[in-house]
Amino acid sequence: MGETEEAAIRLLNHDKKKEFWDYAYFFFSNTHNLNKADVKFLEAKIYQAIKEAGRYKLENASIPKESHVHDIRQSELMDMFKTIEFILGGAFNLFPFKKVDLQLEVNETKEKINHLKQQLDELEKETFYMTQKGADAKGYLLGEGKKFVVLKGSKTASIEKAANSFKEISAATNLERLKKQGVLQEIDGYYQFNETHIFNSPSGASDLIYLGATNGWKEWKNKEGESLEKLRE
């Protein structure tokens, strides 16, 4: 098992050179919302789960290493992993069925909730907001600040207040694409994020949030009112 950016080519190569397989399953994001770190994280989780189940021999030349992803993003990726686990478990019984100890599940859930609350308290220091012009958005920097994640539930400025020049910038094209993909939905005169979405830059995110040309390094601010630009000085 593994990850690839060219699934069709990988499949053809395996068809010609590999004899150990009969079926191939591909999992992908229909919103193109997975970056390389996300995929590496999922690859490592799936590899480890198959290995622990011990029902199939893995032919990987190297053991996938789990990439570092933001805690909030990690929670979302684990939901994806559970979906993949369910599908593969039903198809090839790759993962063992487990007897459920209800009380244990309750206790573990409580522990996870408490842990998540602690994480959220810590993440408030890393979470940034845009609340002007009627917007209500929050997100965080990803990796070394090359990308910016806008969280599910965020909403843009009022559509009526969109800048006249908005249609001329790339964010307008991005907005239309995200609407078609179901990431954005128009509700009561605003656009709301139905999913957490990764932008290529803080400004790419802020342009869409304020529906106009912006400097994301100045617009995104923490609860203390400090901008990204100030914090990176």
CA dihedral over 184, 189, 190, 193, signed as positive or negative: negative
Distance CA 59, CA 52 (A): 15
CA dist., res. 121 & res. 116, Å (int): 9
Q: What is the mean pLDDT of residues 197-209?
A: 93
Domain ranges across the chain: 7-92, 128-231
CA distance 155 to 138: 9
The mean-pLDDT minimum among 110-119, 120-129, 195-204 falls in: 120-129
Q: Which of 36-50, 74-88, 119-133 has the highest mean pLDDT?
A: 36-50
Q: Binning pLDDT at 50, 70 and 90, where does residue 35 land?
A: confident
Give residue 93's pLDDT.
55
Q: Of 65-69, 79-83, 119-123, 133-137, which range is least confident?
A: 119-123
202: tokens are: 């803080």
Among 23-27, 129-133, 137-141, which stretch is predicted with the lowest mean pLDDT?
Answer: 23-27
99: pLDDT strictly greater than 90: no
The half-sphere exposure of 209 on its side-chain side, counting CA atoms within 13 A, is 33
Name beta bridge partners: 198.
149
